[in-house]
Structure 1
Amino acid sequence: MIRYAILIFCLLIDLATTAQVRWDLATCIAFAKKNNIQVNTQRYNQQTAMQNYSLSRSAQLPSVSGSASQYFQKDLRIGSYIFNAGFTLYQGGYLRKDKRQKQLALEAANQSVLVTENDITLNIIQYYLNILLDKEAAVYQQNVVNTSKAQLEQGEQKLAVGSVARKDVTQLRSQLANDEYTLISAENTIKQDLLSLKQLLQLSSEVQFDIATPDTVISQREVPSLATVQEYAFNNRPEIKENQLQIQVAQLGLAKAKSAYYPTLSLSGTVGSSYINDLSGLGSGFYQQAGITLSIPIYSKRQNKTSVETARINIGQAMINLKDTKTTLAANIEKYYLNTINAQSQFTAAREAFKYNEEVYNIANQELALGVSNMVEYLQQKELYVQALQQFIQAKYNAALTIKIYEFYYNQQ
């Protein structure tokens, strides 16, 4: 917790002192958890739940009040000073149950904060990896442009000495223009995805934002079994805990509603002093009294019964919510499990295809430079290479994203 607070402090200092930042994934997530509007909204709900819990605890304490009054009328002065105290001895267990209910509601609010933080974290992971994909695609596309420029330069030199046809050089110029257009599109995609992540982090427009590129991106590793991850999620995920707590809150709501059928026993006491000062002299008095009050409910015009039935409905709704959450969670985990398995298989196949297409493309470049390959064959091979390249990069980051999200449900992010 201390390290987390220090990190956030450093990030805020960074934003205050410079208009340009470059953050890694962990820094983006930490900043979003601290500053995101949705997360902070849940934190305010959490604070409200804390105040409700504090109030329910205080409700078990005696109530004390005092009053003082002083009246003046010509030669007459009247004064009184009164202290009242009250304490509920028995209310069908309402106060004790209310305290426990508010405590559970606070715990549920804590879990709700974690749920929102998890949602934000997943969004940031997806945006972050998309930007890494964009950047790697742009790097490869820049290499393609550089190769096209070199081929065009060689073609123009050969055209000058009459060893190639003008048509071939024109095709090289056209291909370079297409490659440069693709590069510009790739660079624009980087800017757009950076802007999306920046907006998710809710950084101001003055901040020049970029991400740090990690040394490696893990696209393949052992995938935990579906049953293992689902069991862990059902026992540990905050959305499950929150719904379980809401069931207990609703059950205590029913117990509180039933307590209205029981009598209420309360103790009260008053201590007071009064005086009257007039022309005839001073008159004063001191008094104290204590009493016990028993209030027995007889007929509440169906209010108590309605409260009980409403509480039962709330329990049923809370149970349905838990079932729905479990169903959704299980389906999401299974979806990402299948996506992970498929993505890793696709990555393996795309990596092999890219490897061989890159090798053939390099040979085609050499043959074109030596003049032993015609332009049509070269451009066909280049198109196959670019397609293999795009599939490889897409498969690489898709595999990285799916395994990252799948392990997130297993608390291994």
Structure 2
Amino acid sequence: MAQEKWDLQRCVDYAIANNISIKQSDVQARIANLQLGLARAAQHPNVNLSSNAGYNFGRSINPATNTFDNQRIFFSGFQLQGGMNLFNWFSARHNAEASRLSYEASKAAVERARNDVALNVAVAYLQALLAYEQTEIAKVQIAQTTAQLENIRKQVSAGSLPELNAAELEAQLAADSANHITSVSTYQANVIQLKALLNLDMATPFDIETPDVSAIPVEELGNLQPQVVFQKALQNLPQQRANQLRFQAAQKTIKAARGAMYPTLSLFGNVGSRYSSLFPDQQNAVVTPSNKLDTLGFVEVTPGITLPAVRPSFNVSLPNTPFVRQLFDVNLSQAVGVSLSVPLAGNRQLRTQWERSKLDAEGIRLQLESDNLVLQQDIYRAHNDALNAMQRYRSAQKAVEAAEKAFSFSQKRFDVGLLQTIELLTNQNNLFRRRLDAASAQYEYVFRIKLLEFYKGEGLKL
């Protein structure tokens, strides 16, 4: 059964979907997104609810009456607190903007990882195509030598040529077979390398589509001037975009660190309440007569005669205040206000963070300039390589045409007995090498043009 072939687009799509480096970059981008959400939430009010419940044993303070009691007390309470920064010199806003820019840079880093994988896959794919082309050239060479050997053997059998001619062609056929084996081995090694880039199981059946390299569309080299390509690369390549976003984020971080050194004005508020199992309910006190009299003092009614002053005695019973009433009525308290926080001395932590953020921004700026310089060098080098490859390819084409004519002439002279076998084989090997050189130069030229198209932002296509 003929297995399905893989073209470049399928290889690139599969690699992007399965490459580990891309997945790692995507994880970092998601972490940056979480950090962005955290930074944005820091600008919103914060609200916290706390509650407690338990028992006190022995002599302890009643949390409701604030008096000492020597019995078991069940207590409970809650506290609802909230706060909001009113003004902190836009430090939180700058932090949120820095996080947003960092997230955008992380997304650009994911795109860069995809581009790097796509470019590496394209290189490996073209190398495999070149190796396949070399195997095809070697097969043609073998077929040509085999046909010559059969013809020579007939002539040797007829006695018109010596056995030496057949022996020389047999040696040439062995050398051609060795060249073919080498080219096949190179092709298989390139396929293995391509599988590794795709993160594909090595045991998976795999064969690449082999388009005619002459039919691959390439842009005219005159339309790929290095300075124009460089300017477009600064706008289109994700690495340069990521560096620019990181630099902008660093500038926002400087402003946020600067704002943290100034006073912060905040709004706060809280609602709280508490419950005690011994909290008396004064409103629902139960008063009952005790049928007794309480002596208040003594009154002298006549000289020498005193009588006690009494009043009826009553028993007062105070029930516990209900749980809900204690929490939401009797013991409920509220507070609201503003606070001002002024950093006076913090062991230089805030100033050090501010100065460090400025140095971080300077480091990112220098990295941005360095990456742009490297990119410019790569583009100019790629343009120069493309120009050289085009000249080599044109020269190689002319060399192939000349070698084909020389071999055709030598074949005709050999057929009529005017040329020795060794001279024929020399011209044949020369043609073989010229074809290999032409194929290598052609693939090199196509790759260099595709690299310039990639820098220009046109993607990879064959």
Matched, 1:27 2:25: no
Cα gap change, 1:312 to 1:19, in 2 (>3 Å): farther
Contact 2:78/2:274 (<8 A) preserved = yes
Contact 2:168/2:422 (<8 A) preserved = no
1:350 to 384, 391, 396: 396
Report the Cα offset of residue 243 of structure 1: 1.2
Report the Cα offset of residue 65 of structure 1: 1.5
Partner of 1:195: 192
Cα gap change, 1:159 to 1:53, in 2 (>3 Å): same
Partner of 2:423: 377
1:2-401 to 2 correspondence within 5 Å? 21-73=4-56, 76-217=73-214, 218=216, 221-223=219-221, 224-278=224-278, 281-283=319-321, 284=326, 285-401=331-447
Larger mean Cα displacement after TM superposition, 60-69 or 393-402: 60-69
Partner of 1:14: none
Contact 1:19/1:207 (<8 A) preserved = no
Q: Distance between the aligned counterparts of 1:316 and 1:42, measured in 2?
A: 24
Aligned length: 396
Aligned residues: CA RMSD: 1.9
Deviations 1:244-273 (A, max 9, x none): 111111111211111122111111211122
* Structure 2: 5+ residue stretches without partners: 57-70, 281-317
Report the Cα offset of residue 19 of structure 1: 12
Matched, 1:411 2:457: yes
Q: Distance between the aligned counterparts of 2:452 and 2:94, measured in 1?
A: 40
Deviations 1:67-112 (A, max 9, x none): 2222235753212122111111122211101110000001111111
Cα gap change, 1:303 to 1:221, in 2 (>3 Å): closer
Cα gap change, 1:19 to 1:37, in 2 (>3 Å): farther
- Give SS of 1:273's match: strand
Identity of aligned residues (%): 28
Q: Distance between the aligned counterparts of 1:353 and 1:219, measured in 2?
A: 24
Q: Distance between the aligned counterparts of 2:81 and 2:96, measured in 1?
A: 25
Larger mean Cα displacement after TM superposition, 103-112 or 225-234: 225-234
Contact 1:273/1:286 (<8 A) preserved = yes
Kindly indicate which of the two structures has a greater share of residues assigned to helix.
Answer: 1
Cα gap change, 1:126 to 1:273, in 2 (>3 Å): same
TM-score by length of 1: 0.91
Cα gap change, 1:25 to 1:121, in 2 (>3 Å): same
Bigger radius of gyration, 1 or 2? 2
Larger mean Cα displacement after TM superposition, 23-32 or 230-239: 230-239
Q: Distance between the aligned counterparts of 1:167 and 1:32, measured in 2?
A: 54
Cα gap change, 1:45 to 1:21, in 2 (>3 Å): farther
Contact 2:84/2:268 (<8 A) preserved = yes
Report the Cα offset of residue 371 of structure 1: 3.4
Larger mean Cα displacement after TM superposition, 158-167 or 210-219: 210-219
Partner of 2:303: none
Deviations 1:179-199 (A, max 9, x none): 000001111111000000000
- Give SS of 1:203's match: coil
Q: Distance between the aligned counterparts of 1:19 and 1:411, measured in 2?
A: 36
Q: Distance between the aligned counterparts of 2:210 and 2:358, measured in 1?
A: 54
* AA at the equivalent of 1:230: F
Q: Distance between the aligned counterparts of 1:35 and 1:168, measured in 2?
A: 56
Larger mean Cα displacement after TM superposition, 145-154 or 370-379: 370-379
Report the Cα offset of residue 351 of structure 1: 1.0
Larger mean Cα displacement after TM superposition, 283-292 or 245-254: 283-292
- Give SS of 1:204's match: coil
Larger mean Cα displacement after TM superposition, 267-276 or 398-407: 267-276
- Give SS of 1:208's match: coil
- Give SS of 2:266's match: strand
Partner of 1:11: none
Larger mean Cα displacement after TM superposition, 100-109 or 54-63: 54-63
- Give SS of 1:261's match: coil
Contact 2:261/2:351 (<8 A) preserved = no
- Give SS of 2:141's match: helix
Deviations 1:22-72 (A, max 9, x none): 211111111111211111111111001100001111111111111222223
Report the Cα offset of residue 20 of structure 1: 5.7
Report the Cα offset of residue 328 of structure 1: 0.3
Contact 1:267/1:291 (<8 A) preserved = yes
Q: Distance between the aligned counterparts of 1:72 and 1:281, measured in 2?
A: 19
Q: Which runs of 4+ in 1 moved over 4 A?
A: 18-21
Contact 2:137/2:436 (<8 A) preserved = no
Q: Distance between the aligned counterparts of 1:216 and 1:188, measured in 2?
A: 21
Partner of 1:13: none
Q: Distance between the aligned counterparts of 2:203 and 2:144, measured in 1?
A: 37
Deviations 1:339-398 (A, max 9, x none): 111111111111121122123323433443443422122012112111211111111111
Report the Cα offset of residue 219 of structure 1: 7.8
Contact 1:69/1:81 (<8 A) preserved = yes
Q: Distance between the aligned counterparts of 1:367 and 1:346, measured in 2?
A: 31
Contact 1:20/1:207 (<8 A) preserved = no
Contact 1:151/1:369 (<8 A) preserved = no
* Structure 1: 5+ residue stretches without partners: 1-17
TM-score by length of 2: 0.82
Contact 2:218/2:450 (<8 A) preserved = no
